[in-house]
């Protein structure tokens, strides 16, 4: 038997087991789901040192960064969901229409069944476990495929999740494209994919064969706009934080900077100060500055530095796979760095005169996953948020809209479809089943074909 048919057989066996488990009704108990989530939090806490080591190995993440952007955010998500799950799972009564007098309507959230989660490498813990939490809360079983480009975390997830869940509930299948491809041939009840736009298309095409619903958490070029009335010093710190965390390998990182010409020089010099205060004079040697995930990505990013005028950074270390926080001025849309998502510590800068220029520029490109605006003016904030479409964004900060369970997180257009976090995760992984309980106490005969006045009455009721 060759490798791919072996993988396929293994996947089919897992799916079979998970389906039997679903059909046995074992995931229906809310107490059991709550218990699983509590156990998950407990085990994750006990594995904190291993999680830190794996993130250091895969991406050289510092403990602070790993806790805040990976483990901490997931623990908070579990806590948030556990507190509210009993309320969310209850059938919701809804009003009935005049034509339905005497009946009762309910919306009953039910699990989809068996869910496939495919995760990327850049936040290899959070982006695998956070959707898993939503899927379990909603009563699904899960097949999780972590990224092969974060091998330490992939192996750890298999071990840790294996301690919390039986394979009837959650199974982690490690591997790359060949495993993903084999998984996508199968019929799942829901697919949750986080990754690039191109692979998103492949996932959606495969899902369409079985009409499987999907959430696609993709990427794109997220603009960061700094208006002349912004608090420049504060903006610089917050932008440097959002751009250079995880060496820029963050789906919602500001991709490029669009700054009003009157404050450009001031902002650029404040950016230098901010970066120096975070990573010192020599970021390449800073122990907590992230590394680029692979040689391929490293080469791609370094090639971007050949255009425009470098005003900060520009150096790299191919042994360590590190690239300095690099700011490039005098950038135009026809340069390679503006033709794809950067996903690294290279920061192109463009200047503008009027906001209309920015609005037209953003509109003429695919809808971004995130958008950041720095401005003190309410009307500018309103103009930008109302006239542009983007997945989500933060005014006067970066990344923060992602880190709250109260805001749905997801893209729009090419940056993705569907959303999750908090209640939105529960909704994403639940089918909302509509049930109408009709009365048998009386029967309106006017709806039947034999009724004389049917049409007249119906026209009165349905207008």
Six-digit token string for 350: 């463009």
According to DSSP, residue 427 is labeled H
For ligand NAD, the closer of residues 139 and 368 by Cβ is 368
Six-digit token string for 136: 């379990």
Asked if 118 is part of the footprint of ligand NAD (rule: CB under 6 A), the reply reads yes
Spot the catalytic one: 169, 224, 251, 414. 251
Site for ligand NAD in 199-228 (CB under 6 A): 199, 202, 217-219
Q: Are 64 and 55 in contact (CB under 8 A)?
A: no
Least distance between ligand NAD and beta carbon 212 (Å): 14
DSSP β-ladder status, 214-217 and 190-194? parallel
φ/ψ (deg, to 5) at 433: -90, 130
Least distance between ligand NAD and beta carbon 337 (Å): 15
Q: Is 144 exposed, middle or buried (0-12, 13-18, 19+ CB in 10 A)?
A: buried
From residue 426, alpha-carbon distances to 86, 94, 138, 163, 373 in Å are 11, 19, 5, 23, 30
Stretch that binds ligand NAD, among 15-23, 91-99, 114-122, 280-288 (CB under 6 A): 114-122
Q: If binding means CB under 6 A, how many residues of this protein chain bind ligand NAD?
A: 27
Least distance between ligand NAD and beta carbon 332 (Å): 23
The helix (run of H) or strand (run of E) holding residue 276 is helix 264-279
Q: In the annotation, is 251 catalytic?
A: yes
Least distance between ligand NAD and beta carbon 414 (Å): 11
Binding ligand NAD (rule: CB under 6 A), the pick from 66, 114, 194, 398 is 194
According to DSSP, residue 211 is labeled T
Least distance between ligand NAD and beta carbon 217 (Å): 3
Binding ligand NAD (rule: CB under 6 A), the pick from 62, 122, 316, 375 is 122
Spot the catalytic one: 70, 169, 217, 414. 217
According to DSSP, residue 429 is labeled T
Least distance between ligand NAD and beta carbon 383 (Å): 26
Compute the distance between CA of residue 236 and CA of residue 253 in angstroms, rounded to an integer. Answer: 14
Site for ligand NAD in 251-270 (CB under 6 A): 251
Stretch that binds ligand NAD, among 40-48, 195-203, 254-262, 354-362 (CB under 6 A): 195-203
> x/- contact string, 371-410, with ligand NAD (CB under 6 A)?
----------------------------------------
Asked if 34 is part of the footprint of ligand NAD (rule: CB under 6 A), the reply reads no
Stretch that binds ligand NAD, among 86-94, 174-182, 311-319, 445-453 (CB under 6 A): 174-182
Least distance between ligand NAD and beta carbon 194 (Å): 5
Least distance between ligand NAD and beta carbon 203 (Å): 6
Q: Assign 67 to helix, strand or coil.
A: helix
Binding ligand NAD (rule: CB under 6 A), the pick from 341, 351, 414, 424 is 341
Compute the distance between CA of residue 102 and CA of residue 271 in angstroms, rounded to an integer. Answer: 65
Asked if 416 is part of the footprint of ligand NAD (rule: CB under 6 A), the reply reads yes
Within 343-422, residue ranges assigned H as helices are 355-363, 378-387
Six-digit token string for 353: 């005169």
From residue 216, alpha-carbon distances to 252, 316, 343, 393, 421 in Å are 14, 33, 18, 18, 14
Asked if 180 is part of the footprint of ligand NAD (rule: CB under 6 A), the reply reads yes
For ligand NAD, the closer of residues 202 and 234 by Cβ is 202
Stretch that binds ligand NAD, among 15-23, 54-62, 175-183, 374-382 (CB under 6 A): 175-183
Stretch that binds ligand NAD, among 30-38, 164-172, 190-198, 379-387 (CB under 6 A): 190-198
φ/ψ (deg, to 5) at 397: -165, 175
Q: Assign 354 to helix, strand or coil.
A: coil
DSSP E strands: which ranges in 198-237? 214-217, 223-226
From residue 229, alpha-carbon distances to 47, 261, 380 in Å are 46, 12, 10
Binding ligand NAD (rule: CB under 6 A), the pick from 47, 112, 121, 256 is 121
Q: In the annotation, is 224 catalytic?
A: no
According to DSSP, residue 415 is labeled G
Give me the residue whose beta carbon is nearest to ligand NAD: 219
Asked if 196 is part of the footprint of ligand NAD (rule: CB under 6 A), the reply reads yes
Nearest alpha-carbon partner for 243 in 341, 345, 324, 391 = 345
Q: Are 230 and 263 in contact (CB under 8 A)?
A: yes
Within 108-150, residue ranges assigned H as helices are 126-137
* Positions in the binding site for ligand NAD (CB under 6 A): 118-122, 127, 145, 147-148, 176-177, 180-181, 194-196, 199, 202, 217-219, 251, 341, 343, 369, 411, 416
Catalytic residue set: 217, 251
């Amino acid at each position: 038997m060759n490798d791919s048919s072996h993988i396929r057989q293994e996947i089919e066996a897992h799916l079979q087991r998970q389906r039997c488990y679903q059909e046995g009704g074992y995931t229906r108990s809310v107490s059991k789901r709550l218990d699983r989530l509590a156990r998950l939090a407990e085990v994750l806490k006990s594995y904190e040192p291993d999680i830190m080591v794996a993130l250091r190995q895969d991406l050289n993440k510092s403990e602070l960064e790993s806790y805040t952007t990976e483990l901490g955010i997931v623990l908070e998500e579990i806590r948030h969901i556990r507190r509210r799950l009993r309320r969310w799972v209850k059938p919701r009564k809804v009003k009935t229409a005049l034509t339905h007098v005497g009946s009762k309507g309910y919306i009953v959230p039910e699990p989809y069944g068996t869910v496939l989660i495919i995760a990327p490498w850049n936040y290899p813990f959070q982006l695998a476990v956070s959707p898993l939490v939503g899927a379990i809360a909603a009563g699904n079983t899960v097949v999780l495929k972590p990224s092969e480009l974060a091998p330490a975390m992939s192996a750890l997830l298999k071990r840790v999740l294996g301690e919390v869940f039986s394979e009837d509930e959650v199974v982690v299948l490690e591997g790359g494209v060949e495993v993903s491809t084999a998984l996508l041939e199968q019929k799942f009840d829901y697919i949750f994919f986080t990754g690039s736009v191109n692979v998103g298309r492949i996932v959606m095409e495969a899902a369409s064969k079985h009409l499987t619903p999907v959430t696609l958490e993709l990427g794109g070029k997220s603009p960061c706009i700094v208006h002349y009335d912004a608090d420049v010093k504060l903006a610089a710190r917050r932008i440097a934080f959002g751009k250079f965390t995880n060496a820029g390998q963050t789906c919602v990182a500001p991709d490029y900077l669009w700054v009003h010409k009157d404050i450009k020089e001031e902002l650029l010099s404040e950016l230098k100060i901010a970066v120096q205060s975070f990573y010192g004079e020599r970021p390449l040697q800073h122990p907590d500055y992230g590394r680029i995930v692979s040689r391929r990505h490293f080469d791609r990013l370094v090639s971007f530095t050949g255009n425009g005028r470098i005003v900060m950074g520009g150096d790299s270390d191919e042994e360590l796979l590190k690239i300095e926080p690099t700011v490039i001025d005098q950038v135009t849309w026809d340069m390679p760095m503006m033709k794809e998502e950067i996903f690294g510590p290279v920061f192109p800068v463009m200047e503008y005169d009027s906001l209309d220029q920015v609005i037209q520029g953003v509109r003429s490109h695919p809808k971004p996953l995130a958008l950041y605006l720095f401005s003190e003016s309410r009307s500018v904030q309103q103009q930008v948020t109302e006239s542009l479409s983007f997945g989500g964004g933060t005014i006067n900060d970066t990344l923060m809209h992602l880190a709250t369970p109260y805001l749905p997180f997801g893209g729009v257009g090419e940056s993705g479809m569907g959303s999750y976090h908090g209640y939105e995760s529960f909704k994403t992984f639940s089918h909302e089943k509509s049930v109408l309980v009709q009365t048998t106490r009386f029967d309106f005969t006017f709806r039947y074909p034999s009724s004389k006045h049917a049409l007249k009455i119906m026209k009165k009721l349905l207008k």
